[in-house]
Structure 1
Amino acid sequence: MLQIPDRIKPLRGFSHAIHIGLNVLLPILAYILVRIDFVLLAILLILLSKWRIFAVRPRYWPANIIASSIDIIVAVSLVLFMANTSSEWWQLFWVGLYGLWLLWLKPRSDVLSVSAQAMIGQLLGLSVLYLKFGDTSLAAIVAGTWGITYLAARHFFTSFEEAQVALLSHVWAYFSASLAFILGHWLLFYGTIAQIIVLLTTIGYGLAALYYLDSAERLSQNIKRQLLVIMCAIVVIVVALSDWSGSTI
């Protein structure tokens, strides 16, 4: 199994202060670039901020890319959300979330925090995929769904002693991509949220909760039954109340 190394970051002293300062500066610079319509430059800035991925021997690059993928997905998604609105207050809201991600959630490595990182990455990544690129080809949507859900699952399992990380990640990605292939013919939206995002979020978060509780030996039959009933109820409600009368593409 491919081992993902820990993120390299200074822990104290002057270097730590510089690290914090750069993390504060990055969302501000991204916001400024978005305001002057240099969105691609803002995304490039985010990618350049991940230079440490390649500051090691090439054989470590794939592992570093996987380890940083959720951070990149979240950052790029938030920049695109900034660019998708003309409201300065909404843009500042996304800037604040980006800063909170960089300064509080991203540096944390406990099980719940890593799980939250994976869930947020999947939610934001899928939201951008279907909101910004929902009118692209079905193959691109399926491939994008596969990639985002696979990387989110890989990130989720890194905090557990799981021997089948790649297999389980591909299973979740295959299920998600299959659902994208089926629902991609309709692409129903609730406002700006695609139906498939509601379904994958419900199922994914529910399965993640079951896995976490089971790994912590806190999963009783009663809790399992409750979670499964809630998941199934939400899925049934979403499917039953959807308007399926539209023509397929």
Structure 2
Amino acid sequence: MSFHSIDNLSLEDQRLFNQFGRGPRVDIPFELAHEAFENIVDSHPHVTAARSYDGTTITYQGLERRANILSNELIKRGLCPKDRVCIVVSRSIELLVGILAVLKAGAQYVPLDGGVVADAALQHIFNDVKPPMVLCLKRFHAKVELYARETKSEIVELDGPDPKILSGNEERPKVAMDSSFGSYMIYTSGTTGKPKGVDVRHRGVVNNLLVEPAKLKITVGKNVGQLLNISFDMGS
């Protein structure tokens, strides 16, 4: 039997549905994903935030500093709130710097694994997003250059020699935004056609990550492995 409303259920089944189909309502502590990060920076600045495969580490304070410098520089170069920025990298500390810098500017990031993404998919996504800027690792510069030229996107190397992304304004950007702003955009694999972008807002991210059970009781000092493709939703 098909039905479109619980009104078709018996009163007892309606009661059970309402009892077990809804959990307690809880307040989400932050509206924006990067605000949650900044809260940890303020309370635990010297705790290790990330450890790379090669043993390189960075503290929350160090990650905050690099992200703020990059974000302020991107804003100076013309990045505007609600713009979308493609990030063509692999799992790395630079990925985290790029993500936070984009979010702090009020923009939305599109993560692409430079070692995996096919040229056809890269071209399609660039043409679809038309990003004003593309952040990448220098080893992927040549891979994105042609498509960035087609969309007139500025390329910024996250691990390049540009001193302006290594030192500069360390203050947190003051950009007005709210939880309706896009946080990131994930593209489908394209196995049934062209890849399609899925728009994920800040309100969805904080709802997913900052309350139980999705929070998974992760607290300061816990180690969490990131083994997923960065273009996969759970990897972002």
Bigger CA radius of gyration: 2
After TM superposition, is the score higher than 0.5?
A: no
Question: TM-score category by the smaller chain?
Answer: under 0.3
**Higher relative CO (CA 8 A, sep ≥ 6), structure 1 or 2?**
2
Higher helix share: 1
Question: TM-score, normalized by length of structure 1?
Answer: 0.24
